[in-house]
């Protein structure tokens, strides 16, 4: 398949820049899910009923990406180009920009309560922009960059629960903001990699947030639920309530650690360890498992040198790693400060969530008061059946965002924040020279 000829880009885009769009993305657009194990590109459009339809789909094994971050620009560029070219060829469309997931830079979630003087006049959009900018300023730290700044609710004088205060007259306006930031260096490397692929980062969406948009039902997002995206390089979580994103966090463990444990303990090639995990991975031990023997090729031996190990041994290798993951998840949720009622529903998604018994083990570790289910993303027209499982929740969530889901009622970009930081200086230098 020949790659469509692409024009040279003139400058890299600022990672995380949000477009001032309406509720749904107009025209044809592309989404790009960059993970540690695979890179997915989908070209789609929003149809008259508000649902996305995939026009092109590309999938490539990830290269140059570790724990969600770009570690080799050249390798990552090749994998991204190949995935995008597949989707472009299928859709007969040339992409200039994409909506991309945020999994790099150790994203952190912060909440701010901001009080803003209005002085007895009507609230304007400029006031709301100033509040968002103030939240970004408070979050701004050395080596960190704001990616999301979502209003979580307003109080007009003493009246709370206001969703849209514009044109309302008051003395003071108070706002709750949820801000997500990430390491500037990681965002810069991601932006530069996309620039090398002649792509513009039109919007950047938190990976667990996207997974939650794809897998949580409306009642879960309204009453309170935690979406846990169990990827290859990281496990990330997003807490929802009242239809809004309230908290995100990322754990430095994922399905890759399970594969690595199998390869090390069994002394088998990593490729075969991945196959073992996919075909026979489980954290539950049944009676029939004790006697079943599995063939295992050994590292460095001839192809016909095959060892045999009991399936019981596979379970005993995988279970401790998943227990550790769910213990870290439990501790992170407890440290989040969120009320228990918002943490009682947990939805597992991502490739590692498909391990047999993962749901049951999560329920044991997280506690009896927590209900756990495995979430499959909603079906998307035009996507192949093989791309509709939990491992593709992130990409499908990016399509949901493009369709208008999860966007705040006030879809206002905060605008540039004055900063003399290294990150912005480098971006300015690049824009002047490229």
DSSP assignment string, 133-198: HHHHHHH--TTEEEEEEEEEEEEETTEEEES--TT-EEEEEEEEEEEEEEEHHHHHHHHHHHHHTT
Q: What would the mean pLDDT of 233-248 be, rounded to a whole number? A: 92
Per-residue confidence at 411, pLDDT binned at 50, 70, 90? Answer: low
How far apart are alpha carbons 386 and 401 in whole angstroms? Answer: 21
pLDDT at 18 exceeding the cut of 80: no
Neighbours of 428 (CB within 10 A): 10
User: Where in 190-339 does DSSP place strands (E)?
Assistant: 200-206, 225-230, 235-241, 244-251, 293-297, 306-310
Per-residue confidence at 190, pLDDT binned at 50, 70, 90? Answer: very high
Look at residue 85 in the predicted model and tell me its pLDDT. 97
How many percent of the chain have pLDDT more than 90?
A: 59
Report which listed range, 173-177, 278-282, 303-307, is most confident. 173-177
Per-residue confidence at 197, pLDDT binned at 50, 70, 90? Answer: very high
pLDDT at 342 exceeding the cut of 80: yes
pLDDT at 194 exceeding the cut of 50: yes
- Domain chopping of the chain, boundaries: 108-183
pLDDT at 422 exceeding the cut of 80: no
Per-residue confidence at 288, pLDDT binned at 50, 70, 90? Answer: low
Q: What would the mean pLDDT of 307-330 be, rounded to a whole number? A: 93
pLDDT at 410 exceeding the cut of 70: no
How many percent of the chain have pLDDT more than 70?
A: 87
96-155 tens-digit pLDDT: 999 999 988 888 888 889 999 999 999 998 999 889 888 888 877 768 888 888 888 899
97-102 and 28-34: which strand pairing? parallel
Report which listed range, 142-156, 320-334, 409-423, is most confident. 320-334
108-183 to CATH, choices 3.30.1490.110, 2.40.170.20, 3.20.20.70, 3.40.50.20: 3.30.1490.110
Per-residue confidence at 409, pLDDT binned at 50, 70, 90? Answer: low
Instruction: Give Cβ neighbours of residue 330 (< 8 Å, ≥ 6 apart).
Output: 365, 366, 367
- Nearest Cα neighbor of 203 from 392, 56, 25 is 25
* Residue found under tokens 């990322």: 250
* 211 within 8 A of 349, measured Cβ to Cβ: yes
Per-residue confidence at 289, pLDDT binned at 50, 70, 90? Answer: low
97-102 and 108-122: which strand pairing? unpaired
Look at residue 303 in the predicted model and tell me its pLDDT. 66
Look at residue 304 in the predicted model and tell me its pLDDT. 65
pLDDT top residue among 82 and 407: 82
Average pLDDT, the chain: 86
Look at residue 68 in the predicted model and tell me its pLDDT. 83
43-82 tens-digit pLDDT: 999 999 999 999 999 999 999 999 888 999 999 999 999 9
356-375 tens-digit pLDDT: 999 999 999 999 899 999 99
Look at residue 216 in the predicted model and tell me its pLDDT. 96
Please report, for residues 175, 182, 414, the alpha-carbon distance to residue 107 in angstroms, rounded to integers and kept in the order given.
Answer: 22, 4, 19
Look at residue 153 in the predicted model and tell me its pLDDT. 85
pLDDT at 12 exceeding the cut of 70: no
pLDDT at 179 exceeding the cut of 70: yes
């Amino acid at each position: 398949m020949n790659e469509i000829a692409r024009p040279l880009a003139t400058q890299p885009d600022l990672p995380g820049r949000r477009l001032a769009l309406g509720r749904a993305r107009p025209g044809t657009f592309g989404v790009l899910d960059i993970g540690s194990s695979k890179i997915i590109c989908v070209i789609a459009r929003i149809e008259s009923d508000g649902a996305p339809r995939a026009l092109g789909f590309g999938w490539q094994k990830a290269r140059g990406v570790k724990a969600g971050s770009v570690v080799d620009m050249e390798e990552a560029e090749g994998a991204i180009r190949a995935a995008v070219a597949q989707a472009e060829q299928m859709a007969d469309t040339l992409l200039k920009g994409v909506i991309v997931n945020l999994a790099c830079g150790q994203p952190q979630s912060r909440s701010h309560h901001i009080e803003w003087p209005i002085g007895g006049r009507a609230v304007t959009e400029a006031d709301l922009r100033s509040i968002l900018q103030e939240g970004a300023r408070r979050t701004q730290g050395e080596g960190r960059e704001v990616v999301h700044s979502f209003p979580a609710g307003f109080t007009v004088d003493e009246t709370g629960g206001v969703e849209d205060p514009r044109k309302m007259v008051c003395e003071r306006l108070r706002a709750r903001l949820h801000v997500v930031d990430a390491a500037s260096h990681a965002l810069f490397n991601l932006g530069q990699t996309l620039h090398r692929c002649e792509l513009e980062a039109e919007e950047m969406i938190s990976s667990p947030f996207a997974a939650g948009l794809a897998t949580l039902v409306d009642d879960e997002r309204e009453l309170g639920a935690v979406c846990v995206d169990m990827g290859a390089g990281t496990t990330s979580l997003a807490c929802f309530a009242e239809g809004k994103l309230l908290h995100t966090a990322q754990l430095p463990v994922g399905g890759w650690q399970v594969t690595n444990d199998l390869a090390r303990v069994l002394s088998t090639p990593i490729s075969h360890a991945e196959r073992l995990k996919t075909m026979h991975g489980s954290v539950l031990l049944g009676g029939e498992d004790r006697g079943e023997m599995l063939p295992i090729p050994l590292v460095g031996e001839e192809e016909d040198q095959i060892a045999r190990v009991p399936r019981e041994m596979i379970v005993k290798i995988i279970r401790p790693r998943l227990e550790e993951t769910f213990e870290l998840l439990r501790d992170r949720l407890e440290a989040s400060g969120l009320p228990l009622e918002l943490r009682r529903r947990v939805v597992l998604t991502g490739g590692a969530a498909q391990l047999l018994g993962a749901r049951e083990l999560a329920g044991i570790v997280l506690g009896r008061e927590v209900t756990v289910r495995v979430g499959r993303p909603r079906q998307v027209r035009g996507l192949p059946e093989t791309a509709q499982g939990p491992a593709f929740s992130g990409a499908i969530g990016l399509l949901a965002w493009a369709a208008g889901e999860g966007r705040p009622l006030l879809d206002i970009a905060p605008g540039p924040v004055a900063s003399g930081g290294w990150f912005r200086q480098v971006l300015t230098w690049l824009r002047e020279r490229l």
